Structure 1
């Protein structure tokens, strides 16, 4: 059990009276011993790596809320964990005041709903089950009433202006996304304090515990998690001794599932490839059998993977069918997914039933997953008085429009080109799907962290394209895609980072592009070597990508960047499958290059909005409606 740090000695209690007193003012601003990284100082390139890369797919892909996995999902989980620990220690009812310190990137960005996430986490909500529609009203009520309902039952006074401190000028040693929660009793005595770090993808760790012990923080209750996800002390130095002896059919025996390590541990792409060759298995099969080590049955793995896809698909549907014109925030960014989807539906006859796509299994048997509305549901009714129903029975004509304005001189050797629009179906569908997801994310809606929120559109966009236009067995494709992508995500999480606060956008859209490229090529029947090469191409051409969101919002350039990430992922897969095994860079080398690039990158380009587009784009004080 992760214990809160409590100060119980008389000296400690006397030294920390009410927050407004001199002693506690000093306590609130003095640095902890770990606070030895001034903002802007890069962390050392050297670090201790976990002994293997294997984590659960369902820790890497988790259902949450937007707009940020590091700044929204992680902080909400941290708040929930803190309250759970207080309750288990019998301290909850004694709490009179809660103080929150935010550090580094977590404090600098300021527009990722971090305060909302933490406060609702302290009230007992978690990212997977919270009703996203209630978040704005609940947060407003906290601010207006100046009260917080800890764990949904214990009411305390809470003043945002006094009780939340933004230390964007300080970075805790463990990670740029640091937060410290402290609670006091009615006498002003410090009951407990703890620090949490949101390390990307919704993962939360605590510096006082082993990092590889913190995988349970994808949830909020350590006791409810299978023990295998808490203790990963095994080694991967002897791959030849790993895995079932028979190995050829991928079956694992009970002895292997009960052992102290997964049946197929891997720490690099090279060792993963060696496992696939030794046991004649695909990457998806390797990851699937490792999931059994975490306590899941075949049926549970199937159900959870289908549930992940269901939420992804529902997110795309929500995005393309949204009736809202703009996204939240003073940028006034217009939603484009509905328009892009309507444009793709041009050319279809309305009213003609489309063959129903085979439904994927969901949690409740017999309940189909959400799917995008068929073309016949798109409104094509012309404006009153326009068109003629007699000209083409059953077919409404579009309203005539004036000729487009041609820009340029006609008295020139090079005549100007008239404006025209073209449709490149694969590229346009990929873009539409990815943008739809990230517009939902920007609005604080329900999404799947994959592997982060800022890059949450890439993987669903590519997978949706496969299911709609490529696959002849959707359920198999979902499992193959997600499990293969997860393996690549595990390698990045171990060997580099999936946090923009550590590595910029290369750690988000770059990693998502690599994962999606691997998943796409796997669904196309590519060999493990080709799959890993697709992943390498996907990240190689995202190295150095910065995270500099305008106004701190996960909107510009984030939404369009997901569109390009999805298209680039398919291109990377196509290149790898056409290269006949010829390549110059391995995935392991690319991951190491990304780690070094992240270490050298200025903190100004790591989710802090201190440079780049965040400073060159001037934001007007008011944005007219459009």
Structure 2
């Protein structure tokens, strides 16, 4: 299992798998082919089906500029390793191929191919919640302390930067108004929700603020702003909304406690990423919003003083109750239903946290079993419902 840092990538939206990943691939390929006269990029499967809405071509062209780039879209063909496949070609002045690279954007901004797992050295020897939970109970330590033991104190510096970027993105989203780019005519709502929250009291005020923070982060992402994957761009609003709400509300948790909770959330995401997937193109939105909800629920439970068993239970509920969630973005944009899902998942994360805190942490379905179920469910979902925009809401809205 890789570093928890891999869950939190800082970059520009709207999509980690369709914008960040392809952009990074183009940058790497450009650097290894400095003598290329031009480039040709073939996009396959989900990467091609929703690439226009996700600004895949814009990200690739930016990283290969100022050289000419020809992009070929092949949505009807999937390469064998992952639905988000691409082939990059470096060309000479007379169009001869100098170099080619088959690579996949596997979710959360990561790139991989068939040989990646063989080449990468795992950082963590324990890769399941069962193993880590047992270690915590034996040592008396909690999840963030386990990460600290493995990755060292420098993890705090990285997470501190992550937290600052998250806060900046939320504040930016709260300040913006108008229509989001992309052609759907979707109005930004974060600013309005935040203003209205000031007129409420009690639980309604708290709920309205939580909605506003999740919308703010998601709208910043949808407009191509700087965000943090958590675990993806499409689900980047859930965890920051919960943490920002707990940081600024009457709970007033310190930055230090928030960063520790971020580390725990990263561990939850890393476990899922290692044993299943956080890619909407591979397992549907359950791997994005579902995992984000699990991460936020675990972070919340830790902040409220939960035991390791209660934290695990909160994470389990956050993921379990998103099982089967499809990914059917209208117009291939990370807007509808994605933005609203971030807001509702943030509320569900705190509900999962509260439910777990009322319990003794004992429950029937373990987090590892839910992760395994999510992976199998995702593979059983037809490709129509895995970020292709060919089914579900995307299909019926297009009929209008």
Query: Do Structure 1 and Structure 2 share a fold, with TM-score over 0.5?
Result: yes
Paired position in structure 2 for 1:122 = 64
Query: What corresponds to 2:325 in structure 1?
Result: 545
* Paired position in structure 2 for 1:306: 160
Residue 485 and residue 424 in structure 1: after superposition, are their counterparts in 2 closer, same or farther (change >3 A)?
same
Is the contact made by 2:280 and 2:387 (CA closer than 8 Å) also made in structure 1? yes
- How far apart, in 2, do the equivalents of 1:122 and 1:196 lie? 16
Distance 2:42 2:321 in 1: 37
**1:96-151 CA distances to partner (integer Å, 9 max, x unpaired)?**
2211100000001131000011111224xxxxxxxxxxxxxxxxxxxxxxxxx2xx
2:339 matched to 1:559? yes
Check the 8 A contact 2:246/2:253 in 1, yes or no.
no
- Could you say what the CA RMSD is over the residues aligned between the two structures, in angstroms? 1.7
Aligned residue number for residue 210 of structure 1? 116
Runs of 5+ unmatched residues, structure 1: 1-52, 87-91, 124-148, 150-155, 214-229, 233-260, 293-297, 349-421, 621-626
**2:183 corresponds to:** 330
Give SS of 1:171's match: coil
Find 2:143's aligned residue among 253, 277, 283.
Answer: 283
Alpha-carbon distance change, 192 to 326 in structure 1, aligned in 2, over 3 angstroms: same
Match of 2:277 in 1: 497
Q: Tell me, in whole angstroms, the C-alpha distance in 1 between the residues paired with 2:32 and 2:4.
A: 26
Aligned 8 A contact 1:306 1:478 in 2: no
What does 1:262-411 align with in structure 2 at a 5 Å threshold? 262=124, 265-292=125-152, 298=153, 300-322=154-176, 324-346=177-199
2:259 aligned residue = 479
User: Retained in 2: the 8 A contact 1:75–1:121?
Assistant: no
Q: Could you say which residue in structure 2 is the equivalent of 1:105?
A: 46
Question: Could you say which structure has the higher helix fraction?
Answer: 2
Cα deviations across residues 176-223 of structure 1 (Å, max 9, x unaligned)? 00010001212332110001110000011133x33364xxxxxxxxxx
The alignment covers a number of residue pairs equal to 399
> What TM-score results when the alignment is normalised by the length of structure 1?
0.62
**Residue 287 to residue 70, structure 1, CA distance change in 2 (3 Å):** same
**How far apart, CA to CA, are the structure 2 residues paired with 1:286 and 1:212?**
25
For the pair 1:450 / 2:304, whether they are aligned, the reply is no
Which residue does the alignment assign to 2:11? 64
Describe the SS at the equivalent of 2:285.
helix
Structure 1 residue 467: Cα displacement: 0.7
Q: Secondary structure at the match of 1:424?
A: helix
Distance in 2 (CA, whole Å) between partners of 1:59 and 1:519 is 17
Matched-pair contact (CA < 8 Å) for 2:315–2:352: yes
From 280, 294, 303, give the equivalent of 1:514. Answer: 294
Q: Following TM superposition, by how much is the alpha carbon of 1:157 offset from its aligned partner in structure 2, in angstroms?
A: 3.6
TM-score by length of 2: 0.96
How much does 1:511 deviate?
A: 0.5
- Pick 1 or 2: higher relative contact order, CA cutoff 8 A, min separation 6: 2
SS at match of 2:284: helix
CA distance in 1 between counterparts of 2:252 and 2:342 reads: 26
Q: How does 1:560-599 map to 2 (within 5 A)?
A: 560-599=340-379
Question: Contact 1:544 / 1:598 at 8 angstroms: preserved in 2?
Answer: yes
Any conservation in 2 of the 1:100–1:180 contact (CA below 8 Å)?
Answer: yes
Q: Which one is further off, 272-281 or 462-471?
A: 462-471
> Distance in 2 between the 1:445 and 1:523 partners?
28
Q: Is 1:441 aligned to residue 216 of structure 2?
A: no
Q: How many angstroms apart in 2 are the aligned matches of 1:274 and 1:72?
A: 38
Cα distance between partner residues in 2 of 1:179 and 1:121: 15
Distance apart, 1:347 and its partner CA: 7.3
Give the Cα–Cα distance (whole angstroms) in 2 for the partners of residues 586 and 571 of structure 1: 18
1:210-260 CA-partner distances (Å, limit 9, x unpaired): 3364xxxxxxxxxxxxxxxx422xxxxxxxxxxxxxxxxxxxxxxxxxxxx
Structure 1 residue 183 and structure 2 residue 90: aligned? yes
**Does structure 2 retain, via aligned residues, the 8 Å contact 1:521–1:531?**
yes
Q: Is the 8 A contact 1:471 1:477 kept in 2?
A: no
Q: 1:618 to 1:191 in 2, by over 3 A?
A: closer
CA distance in 1 between counterparts of 2:4 and 2:250 reads 24
2 CA distance for matches of 1:470 and 1:509?
27
Larger radius of gyration: 1
